[in-house]
Amino acid sequence: MNFTQAEIAPLASIEEWEDDILVRYPEAEKPAKSKEEYRNYDDPKRETVKEFYRLNHTYQTYDFVKQKQAEFLKFDKKEMPIWDACNFLNTLVDDSDPDTDLDQLQHLLQTSEAIRADGHPDWFVLTGFLHDLGKVLCLFGEPQWAVVGDTFPVGCQHSDKIVYPEFFEANPDSKDERYNTKYGVYEPNCGLRNVDMSWGHDEYLYQIMKDYLPEPALYMIRYHSFYSQHREHAYDHLMDAHDHEMFEWVNKFNPYDLYSKVPTPPNVKELKPYYEELFAKYLPATLKF
């Protein structure tokens, strides 16, 4: 499928979609600065975010997800150590974000250092550091709406609790009797491990990390953008008891992801030895992307 440049990159920044989350969920744990101060553009508009979700909801079909799994889960794009992966991610420059002028590595460190400061286990700290590495998908040519955005199950009826649900009308799965019922291709309370999620950096990084990190960390990575569930409880009918238990960890993680941005940059040189030890404890010397 060929997309125009406007369809590949409707957002000025791939981080822009998080602004909409802060607007939608003002009751979330309060950040260091008020919601109104985040994403404070001179002329704030949500039309680009709306267009982003129109594309996302139109093209994130069951077949599209299966196609992307087959394409990217071969992990044959690049092999590199974690620090090299961070430097590679830093080539995805975000000049438009008014919240921070920090590069991607510094954002990862701010998230992980906030987690460490609160005394969480080291694997939790590592998860904070790693959580956005899947955004390298943009550097492999993927459109923004197949990298970031709220995630949701495919292969079953789209919940009206998902942002801009009206845009699913253009998704062919909404007219396909195999996929447009409450359970679709799934069974009641089958567990999310048996459910295919919309494609993006969450699922991609989970698949990279699934053999290396503790299960709570994997839930954090895989479902931190599944807002229709951990904010709205829209898919309880697919989750099992174990999912509900693990989602307590997802809920612990999300405030660090959304609200850890502060103006002071982390000192990468001072922090690097700690993280090198952490990488060596949990991860192989190189990762395949």
Query: For 152-158, what is the mean pLDDT?
Result: 98
Query: For 65-93, what is the mean pLDDT?
Result: 92
pLDDT (0 to 100) of residue 95? 40
pLDDT (0 to 100) of residue 260? 65
Distance CA 217, CA 249 (A): 8
Query: Mean pLDDT lowest for which of 76-80, 90-94, 121-125, 135-139?
Result: 90-94
User: Residue holding tokens 């612990």?
Assistant: 252
pLDDT (0 to 100) of residue 31? 45
- Could you tell me whether strands 287-288 and 79-80 are parallel, antiparallel, or unpaired per DSSP bridges? antiparallel
pLDDT (0 to 100) of residue 261? 67
Is the Cβ–Cβ distance between 274 and 73 less than 8 Å?
no
Distance CA 119, CA 256 (A): 13
- Whether 249 shows a pLDDT value over 50: the answer reads yes
pLDDT (0 to 100) of residue 187? 98
Query: For 261-289, what is the mean pLDDT?
Result: 91
Question: pTM score, two decimals?
Answer: 0.89
- Which domain does 251 fall in, by range? 5-288
Nearest residue to 51 via CA among 172, 177, 143, 182: 143
- Whether 106 shows a pLDDT value over 70: the answer reads yes
Quote the number of domains for the chain.
1
pLDDT (0 to 100) of residue 263? 65
Q: What is the pLDDT of residues 8-43, one digit of tens each?
A: 999 888 878 877 777 777 654 444 445 444 443 333
Q: For the beta carbon of residue 288, count every other beta carbon within 10 angstroms.
A: 12
Q: Which amino acid, 237?
A: H
